[in-house]
Amino acid sequence: MSTPHNQANKGDFAKTVLFPGDPLRAKFIAEHFLTDVKQVNGVRNMLAFTGYYNGKKVSVMGSGMGMPSVGIYATELYNEYGVESIIRIGSAGSYQADCKLFDVVLAEGACTNSSWAHQYGLPGTFSAIASFDLLKKAYDKAQELKVRTHVGNILSSDIFYNDRPEVWKNWARMGVMAVEMETYALYSIAASLHKKALTILTISDSFIVSEETTAEQREKSFTDMMKIALEIAE
């Protein structure tokens, strides 16, 4: 069995898939954390691997950037490959002074400026929230590992280079912790298919102060969120 975007066969994916945006981050996790690893997808270089973490079968796959890309891969994993839980592990820009570089953010919910939820025909605004089961496990594991962690609301934006560069302050004023580009779609898809999803983010840059991580750091050094995700994989 395969799809236009995934050459994997039925049974190639574990029940839980870690979902970094960057396929090279997926490769890094597979090489440094998993044993008995098998590459199960390479279509469009969206690398996917399945292996074992402490005896537990786990998969990791790149999702690409933005909600359309995440939407394709998440839908196919849930619908075609029997995946039950997707844990996004990604980078985010901080909107709050206390969310500092390399801090971990657990996305309890996601706001958006996207029209993603229009497809569901709802007579209102859909609140995209995490699986509480995964969220609690991730928070408890972060405390156990003594990782500096924040829990709350994030923004999933369709826009990276915004024509109004100060608009982020409106979201920050509402307590939104950080911005990325994928979670609202992931949480919405999981809700519509009655599956589980959680986003774990590492702060890679800040809108408050001038600091940011390098591309290599984003690929290889965000290990706290990787360990949390691997530990809670079911």
Which residues are the active-site residues? 205
d(CA 201, CA 204): 9
C-alpha dist (Å) from residue 16 to 39, 59, 72, 88: 16, 6, 17, 11
d(CA 129, CA 183): 9
What is the enclosing helix (H) or strand (E) of 135? helix 132-144
Three-class HEC string of 148-184 = CEEEEEEEECCCCCCCCCCCHHHHHHCCCCEEECCHH
Number of Cβ within a 10 Å radius of residue 33:
20
d(CA 180, CA 203): 10
Contact criterion met (CB below 8 Å) for 154 and 110: yes
Number of Cβ within a 10 Å radius of residue 49:
24
